[in-house]
Amino acid sequence: MSQNHYNNLIKAHTLAKKKFGSTFPNPVVGCIIVKKNRIISTGVTGNQGRPHAEEIALKKAGDKAKGATMYVTLEPCFHKSINGSCTEQILRSGIKAIYIARHDPDIRTNKKSINKLKKNELEVHVGETAHITNHLNNFFFKSLKNKRPFVKVKMAISEDEKIAWSNYKSKWISNSKSRNYGHKIRFNSQAILTTSKTIIKDNPRFTVRKNNKIIKHLTTIIIDNSLKIPLGSKLLKDINKKRVIIFTSKKNNKSKFLKKIGCEVFFVNKQVNNQLNLKTIFKKIYDLKINDILVEAGGIFLSNLLKNDLVDEIHLFKAPVIIGSSGKPFLIGKKLKNIKYKEVLTKNFDHDIYQYLKI
């Protein structure tokens, strides 16, 4: 592949990266159309995943697309839609060559588009810069493979790996710069998963804020075995601005009221240990077309997730404070060193240390 073709794929990736976090549940895809060494059109996946990048770029290009070359960061779709699949639209447009970063493992497409484009005598190149697509849309590929959401955990801990004092009076352990970065992680997530215990202790709103202003309301999923969530919670006051999903074993007047005010309530039978089956819950979350979640909860819940092999990434903010043996632990019965992980990134926010870990 020439440097020119490589550079055009990188430009398509750059477009995609700028919109990451707004196309869930779909992957974010970038597309550019080039003719006579000049970019004549660009496209990026629309909000909530539609329209697709190729469709946008082709519509902008119009008749100019005939004889042009397309560069796209993921295999065009083979699905049926109002205007036909992206593959059909590409064939109708007269595009003569296409460079595709990587194939789409979605069973609806999975190399079907690549094969059809080749059979229709387009010049097709696949695989260059695939690693960039893999990194950016890792949530999509892993959720598709595991049939459950991609799970990130965000947590602030002390130097001795505690998340709070014994009386839970510590609202924040990390500093303001760490918390600002934490909001960026929230922004790039489809939903937040928490527990009723966290809501009772912290009464969070789980909004995304920038300069103390709310810029995004995230779907919030609550694991609430005995339906203890207070009806006066800040979270429920925002019910008209976000999707709130509750998993519980309790079917009573409170559950009826929560449904009435707009919550989605799903009932799950308790296991022998009196807990809800997390794998069953995660399968249901995936069926609800939520394939990327950020967990913000306590050490007991994190330990249960790890025990059930339900964690893909951990984002840790370690502050230079010692809480002591009476504090609430980050993990139950073990330390960070006991977990198998790959450290992807470490950086400092003043005296806080941020670690991005892949499990």
Task: Please state, as a whole number, how many other Cβ atoms lie within 10 Å of the Cβ of residue 3.
Answer: 7
| Residue (of 89, 64, 73) closest to 17 by Cα position | 73
What does the alpha-carbon distance between residue 200 and residue 246 come to, in Å, rounded to a whole number? 15
Task: Please state, as a whole number, how many other Cβ atoms lie within 10 Å of the Cβ of residue 218.
Answer: 19
- SS3 at position 211: coil
What does the alpha-carbon distance between residue 328 and residue 166 come to, in Å, rounded to a whole number? 6
Annotated catalytic residue, options 54, 55, 296, 313: 54
- Intra-chain end-to-end CA distance of the chain, in Å: 34
Phi, psi of 171 (to 5 degrees): -70, -45
Tokens 């799950």, located at residue: 268
Structure tokens at 352: 């806080």
54 is catalytic: yes
Structure tokens at 260: 């009435």
Q: Is residue 302 within 8 Å of 153, Cβ to Cβ?
A: yes
What does the alpha-carbon distance between residue 62 and residue 32 come to, in Å, rounded to a whole number? 13
Q: Is residue 305 within 8 Å of 331, Cβ to Cβ?
A: no
Alpha helix (H) residue ranges in the chain:
3-18, 53-61, 86-93, 112-119, 130-136, 138-146, 176-187, 196-202, 234-237, 253-260, 278-287, 299-307
Tokens 């929230």, located at residue: 186
Q: Is residue 222 within 8 Å of 244, Cβ to Cβ?
A: yes
Tokens 């059930």, located at residue: 308
**Residues recognised as catalytic:** 54
